[in-house]
Structure 1
Amino acid sequence: MDQTIANTSRIVLVTGPSGAGRSSAINVLEDQGFEAIDNIPLSLIPRLIEGDGAQLRPMALGIDVRNRDFSTEGLLELRRVLAGDAARSVDLLYLDCSTEVLARRYSETRRRHPLAPDETPTDGILREKAILEDLRGRADILIDTSELSIHDFKAEMEGWFARAGAQGMAVSVQSFSYKRGLPQGLDMVFDCRFLSNPHWVPELRPHTGLEPEVAQYVAADPRYSPFLDKVRDLSLLVLPACVEEGKAHFAIGFGCTGGKHRSVALAENPADALAQEGWRVSIRHRELERRGQPAAGPASHTGKASE
């Protein structure tokens, strides 16, 4: 399979529960210059981009659970194979949405859910989310459309996928737990387990690194500020070079034991600092997402696109 896939500059694999915005995402990517194809079977993708005549135009491929050969394992394996070519950038974009909002959308359109044609839409939504759970946790980019207007959604998509030469490279800063392994697609990883752990403070244990008292506790460690300074300096050295290389997306990960306290508090600070330097930054806290907490979005001081 590896030998039949030709070079393509960028491939975005778009998936997520039905009704979360996959078709809208495909349309936005097409407007950004991607060759876009929706509802494509996994088995056809290698043949689509193989051969000497394959174009270097970026591709956006919509993948649906209704496809006859769909499986989470198959999609993850396809991403692994495609990403095996160092000249190719491959992103798994997962569009998420709350069950309540999806059910409302189905009610408003009077459509039946494809996985529950004779049941309630909620039955199909829950069934589909269970199938896609592993993909959600291993996505390179996650966008929750629950509270986004169509205009906000378009702006979020353009922030991630605008051409690097036109609007700058998108930077993702993520926190995670080492117990669950590294997130896919990280370009730089920093281990935060050397810092003081709020888990051992009973009054802080139930809280997260997003809350001031936890962030202040982590920041009180004398190693915190020097570490952040070095991370910031290294990032500002590397990011412009990545733009020169034509990268459109760069991901930085911060890991700790549980992904709840130290890595979350750490990720928030450099994300904000890079945004103030003019980089377009989004933040994702993987383990908080697993607990159903709001954990993904733009940095609080999203800067203008870097040049």
Structure 2
Amino acid sequence: MAESEHVAAPSDPAPQHGDERPGEVVIITGLAGAGRETAAHALEDLGWYVVFNIAPQLIGTLYELQASAEGLDNRFAVVVDPRSGPFFSELSDVIRELRRRDIRVRLVFLTADESTLVRRFDSVRRPHPLQGEEGVVEGIRREREMLAPYRRLADVVIDTSPLNVHQLTMKMRDAFGTRDERRLTVNMLSFGFKYGIPIEADHVSDVRFIPNPYWVPGLRPLRGTDRQVAEYVLGDANAAEFVDKYLDMITPVLRGYSIENKHFTTLAIGCTGGKHRSVAIAEHIGEQLRRRGHAVRIRHRDLGRE
């Protein structure tokens, strides 16, 4: 039977998403094969400073070094496991010492049922680190018994038996990411086809079907960020219909990207030179996506190249 997941630390309440979380240490441990490295990489992708496989006694020293480094916030995570040998048994003492120093510490324990762990070790064709001359099952059972006290001590316990790597990553993002970090960031990018299609684009749309302000003498020197150009471009019936249908089309795509743990996507809008039409359309679509709750960045790659 799979173990249930819990998140409980009544004496150390979780901050609201968006807090800076000064002085935070996350210690990741648990069973080999349960996803320790995946969980750590999820924090790394969120900008945490992550150290793998260190003796628990070094956590405080490394945390202080990281926290004092210029330009770095002090969100610090470590992965510790029985491979640190006799040092591992002192993990609970280290946690108590860190909390005594008013450092916010959370212990994350990853587990999985026996059949799932056996299947994972079989798929990678690697021995269990504690199996010795015996089989993988014996190694799993030995490790589970060794780690039992830390499972009881943990603030966050995650049973990864039913999870794939993307789902585990999402759980870590939900538990430890700020509000902005948990959201998909949409990069709206305008460009000119004559300078080439941007290689980073996930979706490319061509708005050269819209009448070109370049041929209107009063608009030619202006840019798509100027009100007169934007009104001219968006005043075209085809342009207005395109924007409406583009937003309808991209909404389920962005929702799916969030579910699939995609942190960034680039939506590219192109016209001939990247000065008028693509700029106005990218600005308008970007603003509409913001109003729908998306984190949006807008960049005009070729503006000013003419």
Instruction: Normalising by structure 2, report the TM-score.
Output: 0.49
- Structure whose alpha-carbon radius of gyration is higher: 2
Instruction: Normalising by structure 1, report the TM-score.
Output: 0.49
Q: Which has the higher contact order (CA 8 A, sep 6+)?
A: 2
